[in-house]
Amino acid sequence: MMPGFVLFLISSLTLATVYALVALALNFEAGVDGLWDLGVVSFFAAGAYAYAILTVGPPDQMQVYRLGFGLPLWIGVIGAAGAGTLVAYLIGRASLHLKHVYYLITTFAFAEVIREVLTNERWLTNGTAGMYRMAQPFKSSFETNLYPLVLLLVMVAILVVVFIALNRVTKRPFGRALNALRENEDLAATAGMAPYRYHLRSAMIAGAVAGIAGACYVWFNTVIVPQQFTSSITFVAWTVIVVGGLGNNRGAVLGAFLLILTEDVLRLFDLSSTVAVRVASARVAVIGLILMAVLRWRPRGVLPEKRPRFSRSEALVPAEAPAQGLQQVGSGE
Amino acid sequence: MLETREVSKHFGGVKAVNGVSLMVEEYAIVGLIGPNGAGKTTLFSVISGALSLTSGRVSFEGADISGHRPWEIAEKGVVRTFQTPRGFPRMSVLENMLVFASERTTGFWKNLLAGGRLSAEERRNISRADEILSSVGLLDRRNVLVEELSAGELKLLEFARPLMAKPKMLLLDEPAAGVNPALLEHVVTYITQLRNNGLTFFIVDHNLGFIMDICDHLYVMADGELICSGAPDAVACDPNVIESYIGTKTETTV
């Protein structure tokens, strides 16, 4: 049996992993690309509910939802990614042809709409009573008291895979194109890039990643209720990437662990109920203080975005290239 | 190569560009001058697709490009520069070049699944970028952020960047503005050299010395309309041009 402190730490780390995934998603669209999303929680919620509906069993007598496919959990995760992508596509399609501020407004509004839908469409979500007994990965293969650690490892593995994938794309021409659009959209268009197409893709990628994070969140909680998906998730994710370093994938992960662990440390102390209430509200203040401190002393985050340095091409390309290059300078096709 | 026919752009009642017809021949350096507010930049924006046109027609290599979007026109080989160069400020000089590379694989899945640190394509682009950067003297600055460049360096990058796209035609919006005389000489040689390599130029500028020097043919705009065109020397003596720049005799005596 693991001691309470260790269990607590594992639980905090698991939650931090979920936030790291959301932060990576947000960082991709808002940091690598320049789309300010104030409703990343809607991708997250869509993913979580898609996972829940696909994997949960049929309802019991107390529940009113009609669907509950009881499908294998990996299908649930794919469905979660798909649902997040779909929501991003719908929002993006409606708003990305316009100026970016409209994306911000639409995402913000959509986040409220989706929570209302989740609350009121009880046939689908069981309303505020929520759904429970959620399928967790490898649950039956391990002892109950060891399982939190297993779940943490599974989620860390997902985080590592997502991180590698996003970081790879960020550093390659696709990510560079998004950076360029973020920096100067008019100029990027004269390079032959259709801004809408790139923005829609970055939003959909963010949607997929946040959707997967939603499935992880369901594993972590084992129940799902609409109240879990308030806008505070969006704002924590924003704080995380601003503290970590906007545009830097490592920063997003580091920021998530930094913030969530700091926040949770305040829960560690055994307190009387009256003090506990005060400490709980102090947690928000602590996050705010961290944000202010970072903005004051490290305005580009703990790990600022770094540009890649390329070594001179002479070292990279064999001798024939420079001569060829000379002819190519400015030559029309 | 590039032709505008009766092109107009009106903003409400303001006729920023009004019935302008002009032509840019292949391998030519054609200039467009006129006092402030004549509609030169607006015309550029219409040609490059940044602004829609109110009426008229723009064609490039015989094909109608009026109303096409900026990236479509860029893909056809017409690349414009901007009056105030800003570049992609928080990206390195080399990255600024790479964004414009004519051959680039920017598909998400292709980028995700390709192995290796640098693709062969990327290496080719880097070597081409280095080649162009060294020709404008920016090779040593290749890993510097663009926001850290001096105004002169930024101007040079503004020339170098579009070349990565292997354009057929460059629309330069005030390339001589804010450029010191020594650098300007360099710019003139550079543009001439590029033209000899097969590029066509359409240039807007206020620096008459520069534009007379470099252009084969000039167009003059005032109040949204074309008032004169011809060889630089002829245009300079045209009474209409003199009037629009320094006013008429009667006006000056009043």
Chain A residues near residue B74 by CB distance under 8 angstroms: 189-192
For residue B232, pLDDT beyond 70: yes
Q: What is the pLDDT of residue A329?
A: 41
Nearest to B126 among A190, A195, A313 (CB): A313
Q: What is the pLDDT of residue B68?
A: 93
Cα Rg of chain A, angstroms: 22
CB contact under 8 A, B128 and A325: yes
For residue A201, pLDDT beyond 60: yes
Predicted structure pTM score: 0.88
pLDDT tens figures, A60-88: 777 778 787 888 999 999 999 999 999 99
pLDDT tens figures, B24-60: 999 999 999 988 888 999 999 999 999 999 999 999 9
How many angstroms separate the CA of residue A159 from the nearest CA in chain B? 16
Contacts with B, A 276-315, CB within 8 Å: 305, 307-310, 312-314
**B25 interface with A at CB cutoff 8 Å:** no
**B217 interface with A at CB cutoff 8 Å:** no
Strands B217-222 and B29-33: parallel
What is the pLDDT of chain A when averaged over all its residues? Answer: 88
**B112 interface with A at CB cutoff 8 Å:** yes
Q: Residue A145 to residues A10, A135, A148: CA-CA distances in angstroms?
A: 12, 17, 7
Q: Give residue A294's Cα distance to chain centre.
A: 21
**A323 interface with B at CB cutoff 8 Å:** no
